[in-house]
Structures are given as structure tokens and as C-alpha cells.
Chain A
Amino acid sequence: MGALMVIFSLQKDQRRKRTDSVEDELELSAVRHRPEGLEQLEALTRFNRKELQILYRGFKNECPSGVVNEDTFKDIYSQFFPQGDASKYAHFLFNAFDTNKDGSVSFEDFVMGLSILLRGSVQEKLNWAFNLYDINKDGYITKEEMLDIMKAIYDMMGKCTYPLVKDDTPRQHVELFFQKMDKNKDGVVTIDEFIDCCQNDENIMRSMQLFENVI
């Protein structure tokens, strides 16, 4: 009698163990993507062969499947900013790199973006920056869009800053930005206003040249 109860109770334990084995099969092989050949990429971008090789090796090492999805992108970018939360800005960056809007950044997108940023003319860089700020890609930067971007940038600083980031610091910064950029005071910044204004600002022009020799 007691033996029966013992066997019964033991069986229950075994049944509990069998349940959680099968559910892990859902990880199908991820989407694999092979980039264009080196020659095409050389033609499309302003990197030479060696640079493309180095870039691809780094890219493939981190993303063996050949494409970066948004979460991986956020992860990678957040590792450079340990004190703050870089996920929002990474989201905007991701959208800026993902030119065909398919939810993943392939090596071509990656390298073309880099080509503009590192080897492009000032005009192209400013274009790219405008594209980054213009979240809905309608050709106008509104105050709300700029506020989102600004908050994302300030989030990357994190909590421990000096002086403390107050709640309306991003907003003030946006006001400053609009004062500078919005020439006709219509509440939005167009691409021409933006490029114009940046080309007249020495600081900005100088800082655009900052990352020439990154690769």
C-alpha cells in the first residue's frame, strides 16, 4: 500500500521533467544573406578592396547570418554607451541605415551608410543627418521629431551627468536648434534650411570632418 503511494509520487516527478524538451526546436536557421561581390561594392561605395574586407570580417563576426536586425543593432550600439540607454537612438540610427525598410540591415546597407558618413562630401553627410532627424521621412523636421531625437541623445548620457539633465533640457536644446535652423520660422526645418544653416556654421563644418580617418 505504501509502496504504491511511493511509486505514484515518484512518477509525478518524472513526468514533470519530460515537458520542457521539445519547445526549443523553434529556432529555425536564420535568414542567411550573402552580400554582393567585392567588385560591385567597390563600385557602389568609396572604400577600396582592403577596407571592404576588413569591414566585412568585422560585420560577419558579429552577425554570422549576414544581416543585423534591430535588436542586435541596439545591443551592439548600447555596448558603446554603458552609462546610458542607447536603445532609442539606436532605433533611429537603424532606420537611417535600413534604406529599403525591410527591418534588417544587410552588409550593403551598412557599407553604403558608412561610405557616406566617412567618405562622402559635406553635402551628402548633411543629407544623411537630415534623413536621420526626419523620422517619418516627409522632408520636414518638426519640433516633435527633433524632440524625440534629442531625448534619445540625452538618454545615452544616462543618469549620472554633470550638471544633471533636467526634464526640459532636451526641449531647450530643441528650441535652440530651431532658432538657429528655422529661418522662416514656420515651425519646421526643410532640407535646404538645414544645409544652408549648417554650411554657415563653422563649428558644424569642422566637426563634420572629424571622422575622416576612421577606417
Chain B
Amino acid sequence: MATGVAAWLPFARAAAIGWMPVANLPMPIAPTEKNKRADELIILNVSGRRFETWRNTLDRYPDTLLGSSEKEFFYNEDTKEYFFDRDPDVFRAVLNFYRTGKLHYPRSECILAYDEELSFFGIIPEIIGDCCYEEYKDRRRENQERLMDDDEDKKDAKLPNMTFRETMWRAFENPHTSTMALVFYYVTGFFIAISVLTNVVETVPCGTTPNTKEVPCGERYTVAFFCMDTACVLIFTVEYLMRLFAAPSRYRFMRSVMSIIDVVAILPYYIGLVMTNNEDVSGAFVTLRVFRVFRIFKFSRHSQGLRILGYTLKSCASELGFLLFSLTMAIIIFATVMFYAEKGSTSSKFTSIPASFWYTIVTMTTLGYGDMVPKTIAGKIFGSICSLSGVLVIALPVPVIVSNFSRIYHQNQRADKRRAQKMQKARLARIRISKTGNSNAFLHSKRNGLFSDALELTSSTEEEQQLSKNQSLLESQHHHLLHCLEKTTNHKFADEQCYEQSYLEGALHSYPSRSPSFSSQEGMTGTCCTCCSKRNHGPFPNSSMPTCLLTNPPSHTHPHHNLQELSTIHIQPLNTSRSSLNMLVDEPARPNCQSGTITTAIISSPMPPATTPEVDAHLPPTGFALQNVVKVSAM
């Protein structure tokens, strides 16, 4: 029950008088308040700062420290106050929770200190009010991320018993872990740079010998460049092989982008080695050398920024693809138009539509090389339209990419918010569970045999004391209210399982089944409660009570035998073996018979029409099995 409205319980109970004339059954006895104290002020001394409040205010939340008897541990006899050696600033928020029902998070407090105080006072942080919940969760998340970062740094510490392979892999992935790894990292970086530089310088025309024309350095110092190239490729090959060896999942490693780049960077050399002096393919060989430039992509292992750029382009791929498509459309349209416009003019460069593509692209990107210009008037008109529209069309990708960037950024934020909302859902689920826990508290207390029909009008005070021992007064009053409602409507509260079963039984009512499927019942540690017993009391008005189940002739044909499968039996987890149930047949009946208390039996008595004595013997053990939960009534 929501404790904030505990003050209105008297009103709700008073309003229950409205049900009385309608009810046909007698009402249960109301719980009396033992030691009803007039409301008094309590003094809470928190590290010297004194807070005072009514006792009833604290009693609103009986499952917290201040609301339960746990606070008695902190009672100081001499000063007649409760002393807590905790932070008084956070205690303000805690006490305000009792007063207003809403828990707030003071933003100036450290999140960890606040959490500690909450757990000390037994308050779950999920009930922080909506006004402060986002802030609380944000701070919590930041804190956790910081802890995770710290953990990641700590992770770099060498774990014991790492195999050589794992050490190598860690060295490759995080160069900062050891000096060897750092050396390796810088060496490979250096060689990548050297290799790229070599490729570039190879083509520069070197100093000339006086009588020959200028030759590129590559041809002049062939051997030197070849040695340089070989050295670099050797280093790269060794590196690739080492990574391949160290990778935890070789297949995944070979599929990764970086390894593909590595392979493409070193392959041309080997292919070149294989195919030297073969005139036919030397042309192809030359083009292969172009792939050597891919070595520059190996730098992305060394640079975080390159990786991010690559990732962004990859994520913008669809937008860029669409843009390319629209550009292609525009190019084709304008190229066609220009071709047909310029067809008439003499010595026109616009020899074909594909030839006009070049003009269109150059014009649309506002490059305007001038190698192809329209000469006819129509051509010039369409050319100007082309360049104007080109400005518009080419200007599109920039906001697309920018919006993609911002979209990805906001997606991250939204993912966080979604996570926060999931937290919200989880939080609501938790609150709901605790609420249904409260609504099921009534059913729990019934099941525990605390309520009974016979107690209605002739209860002894011991029973009442037993009642109030386990529940707070508020709870017992609330349960009494719900019990009155049950009496008024002559229906009982049940929980989900019971509802489904009774729904099923309504459906199955016409289908008689004769097997007492005991095993199926074993699985259901159902919570179907007093309802089942009540039902079974009906058909046996003249049968002796369940103690005599032992001796009841199995000829009782029970009109509701079809319900055997559905009626649940509380079975304590200890007694799941049928043999053990068999063995202890005789014991339980007697002590239960002797109990003078008349309480409801929560056994369904599935009386099988079969007359096998074993089956019979199975039945009473259920009574035993439920010792704490069920007291077999001994009328």
C-alpha cells in the first residue's frame, strides 16, 4: 500500500460502511490497536543536528530503517533520542522523503556518499522522484564510466599466466603496455613512412648526367630503391605474420580491414618478384605498384583520427551513395542536353555524350578548366544552367555529411537516453513489483493461515496478538479492509496463477479427466490459496476432515475431479520425491489433528476414482508437506 496515503486509511475504512448493507456475509473482526500511543515527537540526532518529527511520519515506510524497529538500536537512553552518526545534510533529504513521500537528490552531494546514506537508511534509490531522477542517473552513469576507465587502465597491468601469444596480441593492440611494444610500434611507423617516401621519391627526376635526359631517381638508383623496398616489405611481412600468429581468432583477424590493407600493401612486391621480365604482364605489374600507396593506410593503426574518419565515411555511405546517384542523374541529363545543343556547331569538342560527361562534371563542380566550352547560344544557355544547378547539387553533400555527423552524435545521446529509459522501465518494473508485493501481501497473509472463517466472530486475543506480531498495524488494518470487501462481494482475491487456473477450470468444466496427475502438480508451487480449500469443503459436507483422508475410502467420486490437474498443491521444496512422501505418511496426520486451532486447509483433495491404495497414500503427505503453510483442520 502506498504509504504516503497511510493517513487516509481511517477514511477508507470508514467508507467501508457503505458496503455493509449490501453484504450478505458477516464481516471479519477488525484488528485492534495494542498499545495505541498518542502520536509523539521523536528526536533524531544526526551528528549533532537535531531533527524532530512525529513518530507516525516515520511509521509511514515500515520497510526502512527509521520506520521499523531497527531504529531502536540507535536509541540513546540517557538523552532520550535516536542518535545516528551520519551526514546531516543528506539526512535532510532522507527525512523529507518521509514527510512528503518524494525522495530528492541534492545536487551538491557526491553520488557515492548519497548512495551510501540511502542504503544505510534502507531506502531504494529507484523511488527518487522524477524531478531528480535524471540527474541522479546521469551522475551515476558518469561515475560508473569513470570507474570503467580506471578499470581499463588497470587492465593493462599484466595478468598472471598469460600465454606468450596473448602477450604478443596485447602488445600489438596497446603499444603502451611494454617498451618492446612501443619500440615495435615506432619501428613499423618509421618504416611505413620510409616506404611511402621511397615510392614518392622514386618518380622524381634526379640530377642529370650531362648528356642523358632527366631520369627519375628510381631508374637511376635502381638497386638502392630496390633494397629499400625489399627491406620495408620484409618488415611488413614479418609484422603481418606475427599479428596473424598472435591473433586470438585468426579467421576474424584475416577478415579485418587492417589486415586486408596489410596484405594489399605487400602483395605487389611479391607478385613483382614472381613476374619479372615477363613482357606481357609488365604493364600490369606497373599498375600493381600503384597499390603500394596503400601502405599509407597502415598509418591508421597509428592514428585514432584516421579511424574515426573512416568510420564516419562508412556510416555516411548510404547518404553519399544516394548523392552520387542524384549527381549521376544530373550529369547524364546535362551531358545529353549539351551534346544535342552543341551538335550543330563545327569543331565542337562535344563529340559524344560520354565526352560531354567531362564537361558537365567540370562545370558543375565550378572547376571550369576551359578545355571544352560551348559555342552555340543554346549551348551557352544550357551551360550556364548546368553550372548554376551544379552549385546547388554539389553543395548538398556537405550538409548531408554534417547532418550525418550530428545524427551519429545525437544517436549516441539518444542511445544513452534510451538506456536511461530502459532504466526507467526497469525502475518502474521494480516499483511495480514492490507494489504487487504489497498487494500480494494480503494474499500472503491469508495463505499463512492468519485469517480464517472461524475466527470471524469468536477470536481469542492470542490470535490477534499473533496477527499483529507479523504485520504492522497499518498492514493489518489494510488487510482487514480488503477482507471486508471480499465478504461483501462473496468473492476472494486471487493472484495471477489462481486466476488463470480458475479461468481454465471454467473452460475445462465439461471435460472430465480422471488421472490424478500428481507430477504435474508438483511443479506448480502455486499460490492458489484458501480458495481451493473452500471449494473442496463444499463437495464434502459430510466427509470427515482431511485427517481422515488416510482412511477415506477412495470411492468418493468427486464432482470436480476434472480439476485435479489444475488444483495446486503447495509443496515445500524439500519433499519432492514421492518415496519420501510415502514414507512419512503416518506422522503428519496426528500432530495436525491435535492442533486445536481451526485453520483453513490448503489442500485440494483430489480423490481419484481409482482405488489403488498407493494413490490414496500419496494424498495425505501433501498435508504433511505443507506443514508450515497448511494446518490440516481437525474438526
Contact = CB atoms under 8 A, between A and B. Distances in A.
Indicate whether A and B interact.
yes
Interface string B3-23: 011111111111111111111
Given A9-B399, A214-B14, A162 B24 contact: no
B246 interface: no
Interface in B485-508: 485-486, 488-496, 498-499, 502-503, 506
Contacts of B14: 113-114, 117-118, 211, 214
Nearest to A177: B22
A54 interface: yes
B9 A80 contact: yes
Contacts of B99: 61
Given A5-B395, A93-B15, A211-B14, A150 B494 contact: no
A132 B1 CA distance: 25
B503 to A, nearest CB: 7
A2 interface: yes
Given A59-B7, A150-B22, A207-B23, A157 B16 contact: no
Nearest to A156: B485
A33 interface: no
A113 B20 CA distance: 16
B361 interface: no
B574 interface: no
A129 B399 contact: no
B8 A213 contact: no
A5 B485 contact: no
Question: Which residue of A132, A203, A207 has the most chain B CB atoms within 10 A of its CB atom?
Answer: A207
A128 to B, nearest CB: 7
A6 interface: yes
A160 B496 contact: yes
A58 B18 CA distance: 22
B7 A61 contact: yes
B439 to A, nearest CB: 4
A208 B38 CA distance: 26
Question: Which residue of A80, A156, A181 has the most chain B CB atoms within 10 A of its CB atom?
Answer: A80
Contacts of A125: 17
A55 B498 CA distance: 39
A62 B5 contact: yes
A137 interface: no
A52 to B, nearest CB: 13
A125 B25 CA distance: 19
A207 B20 contact: yes
A165 B30 CA distance: 26
Contacts of B403: 9
Interface in A1-50: 1-3, 5-6, 8-9, 50
Interface string B24-45: 1111011011000011000000
B215 interface: no
A83 B26 contact: no
Given A96-B18, A117-B14, A6 B488 contact: no
B499 A160 contact: yes
A5 B482 CA distance: 66
Nearest to B25: A203
Contact of A117 (B8, B9, B17, B435): B17
Contacts of B499: 159-162, 164
B227 interface: no
Nearest to A176: B24
Given A62-B4, A160-B498, A164-B506, A5 B399 contact: yes
**By DSSP majority rule, is chain A's interface helix, strand, loop, or mixed?**
helix
A140 interface: no
Contact of A58 (B8, B395, B490, B502): B8
- Give the size category of B's interface with A: 35 or more
A76 B10 CA distance: 12
**By DSSP majority rule, is chain B's interface helix, strand, loop, or mixed?**
helix
B306 interface: no
Contact of B38 (A50, A61, A203): A50
A211 B502 contact: no
Given A81-B482, A208-B17, A160 B494 contact: yes
Question: Which residue of B4, B11, B485 has the most chain A CB atoms within 10 A of its CB atom?
Answer: B11
Contacts of B5: 62, 76, 79-80
B489 A157 contact: yes
A95 to B, nearest CB: 12
B491 A161 contact: yes
A158 interface: yes
Contact of A132 (B2, B11, B13, B18): B18
Contacts of B495: 160
B634 interface: no
Contacts of A83: 439, 493
Contacts of A9: 399, 402-403
A160 B494 CA distance: 5
A57 B20 contact: no
B483 to A, nearest CB: 11
A133 B56 CA distance: 34
Contacts of B544: none
Contacts of B391: 1
B492 A161 contact: yes
Contacts of B21: 126, 129, 133, 177, 181, 194, 198, 204
Contacts of B20: 129, 204, 207-208, 210
A162 B492 contact: yes
A114 B10 contact: yes
Given A1-B398, A161-B493, 15 more contacts: A1-B395, A6-B398, A54-B39, A57-B7, A61-B99, A80-B12, A117-B17, A129-B21, A157-B493, A162-B498, A169-B491, A173-B489, A203-B27, A207-B27, A208-B17
Interface of B: 1-2, 4-27, 29-30, 32-33, 38-39, 54, 56, 99, 391, 395-399, 402-403, 435-436, 438-439, 457, 478, 481-482, 484-486, 488-496, 498-499, 502-503, 506, 528, 531
What are the nearest 4 A-B pairs in CB distance? A58-B7, A2-B398, A162-B531, A160-B499
25 contacts: A1-B391, A5-B398, A6-B399, A58-B7, A58-B8, A61-B99, A62-B8, A82-B1, A82-B436, A82-B439, A117-B14, A118-B14, A126-B21, A153-B22, A153-B485, A153-B489, A154-B491, A156-B485, A162-B499, A165-B491, A203-B24, A203-B25, A204-B21, A210-B30, A215-B10
